[in-house]
Structure 1
Amino acid sequence: MVRITSTRLYLQFLRRSPAECTSKAIKFHSDIKIVEVGPRDGLQNEPTHVPTDIKVDFINKLSETGLTSIETTSFVSPKWVPQMGDNAEVFKKITKKENVDYPVLVPNIKGLMSALEVGAKEVAVFTSSSEAFSRKNTNCSIEEGITRIKEIIDVSKEYNLRVRGYISCVVGCPYDGFIHPLAVTKVATALLELGCYEISLGDTIGIGTKKTIYNMVKDILNVTKPENLAIHCHDTYGQALTNICTALDLGVKVVDSSVSGLGGCPYAKGASGNVATEDLVYMLHGLGATTGVDLKKLIEAGHFISTVINRPTASKVNTALHSKYFL
């Protein structure tokens, strides 16, 4: 009896039109915003020194792809992040397009004031859902980190700056192990109440799976709407695209990514970079999504920066299509 029912369902599926078969994907993935984090998150721990003019060319190339948000640099101390020591110069030199946002990361009030001096319109703040990671990465507890963020947001409001919040280690930490969804929800709630317009949920060491990402996002949706969330996945275990789809199915419509899969977490052994923007765009377009991104131009930008740092691209789509487009 079970076999007959299964066969009937299968035959019914075969009779469906292509439009019917893809309607769910289009419904859930129609308009997706991509936040490109390659110039900041992707390069900040890169051991190869990237000259300022190269960074400027890189960001300008990304600006021509159709991306609407490109995280440009980080106003941190060059003592801790030497690669970002030219932050002000990079931000001033890039060609800014009217339809593109150029957010910058700031760790404290000093960084915020430096960002204001060069005319930044949007800043990002960061904390963690893991106590151990917070102390390792920012030398403070989560509570102390939230206090710092409050100071940044209070001043940002005076200057009408938009503030985006990052939460790292949303499903796992190299020190604390598994992170309970409630821990992430508590931090997200605090950031939203302080005034962050959006919270980016970061699987910093890339250990997330469909189940852990689902449980984490679902718990946060008890206190906020999907419009206030973004997903930020690293691809250490090859699960990033699956995890992103899981978040999209829950209504999230903003995804962070890094062209050519640049980046990685210095505190997690073996952790690879962010999900590659080229791979993300290819997948989203295959789902019928609208991103506004020109994949060919994106591949060109990814190849450019990979050549500069003398490393093969981590993007499978770039590897597959670069020769088709440019050779």
Structure 2
Amino acid sequence: MSTDAPERRTYSYLGPAGTFTEAALAQVPEARGQIWRPVSNVGQALSDVVSGRSDAAMIAIENSVEGGVSSAQDALATTPNLRIVGEYLVPVRFWLVGHPGATLDDIRAEGVAGIAAHPVAYAQCLTWLGENLPAHEHVVASSNVASAIGMLDGSLPAHAAIVAPGVALHHDVEVLAEDIGDNEQAVTRFVLVTSTVAPAAPTGADKTSLVAELPKDEPGALLELLEQFSTRGINLSLLESRPVGDELGRYRFVIDADGHVFDERMADALMGLRRFSPNVVFLGSYPRADRQVVHYPERYGDEAFVEARDWLRALLAGEPEA
């Protein structure tokens, strides 16, 4: 009897330790106890999956304040043989940290204090900063983690840093203030991406992600794309345009549709979309993070589609009407 331990799986994520992406990966039960590989950008994370270096990658895809993450959307649209297998929500919280032993009064006493922060984090904390540190200067950092490291090692001219809460667990910093973000409801949506696999069985609370291009730039083209879903009772929870990049006026649309590809209505919509669009990228059907059951009118249920198909087959076969 073999006593060999099962091979550990590798998960790539935007690192280093302490990022929101790491917090999202921590929500994946099957990733616990496995190898977590920190990378520097979305492209590298997906490249790890394509090359087989990693079994999966966790990437940010959408923020409730900033909207879609364009770099992730473009990478998923143009990198073949990838599938989204799950989504995870992470509340966006920001803390202000300083050197060990520092206080908020110490920072105020600096006069024009340097506050290291990633531009996105800084923009989401302006109200708190204006009320509590009106005399400050934004010191741009490449990431939430880099803002803390740069403050600590002196590579950034900063007296304090805006960070994700996880950063304080991995670095010797003093927490000066918690939850300084302007929007308490802010959340970032992450997706777990693997190489191409068959979709998991539907749960009833599912989402289907895809990318589709318009066949040409003409009146009604977008309406025709949307009708592939509306005429089948499918709600779209995300619709964002991204330039194809080869010429002006050419766009692809990133779409999240409520339902699963195994649902008759969704399968029918995707076939209609395939006939309409010159390029459709199916990114996957997977459980919704909020686990909310997808509701739809009875006429769009699987039974209605099956009955309609059987009715047509009977007509083509010349069978007498029941």
Q: Shared topology, TM-score over 0.5?
A: no
Q: Shorter-chain TM-score: which interval?
A: under 0.3
Greater radius of gyration (CA): 2
TM-score (structure 1 length as normaliser): 0.23
**Greater fraction helix:** 1
Q: 1 or 2, which has the higher strand percentage?
A: 2
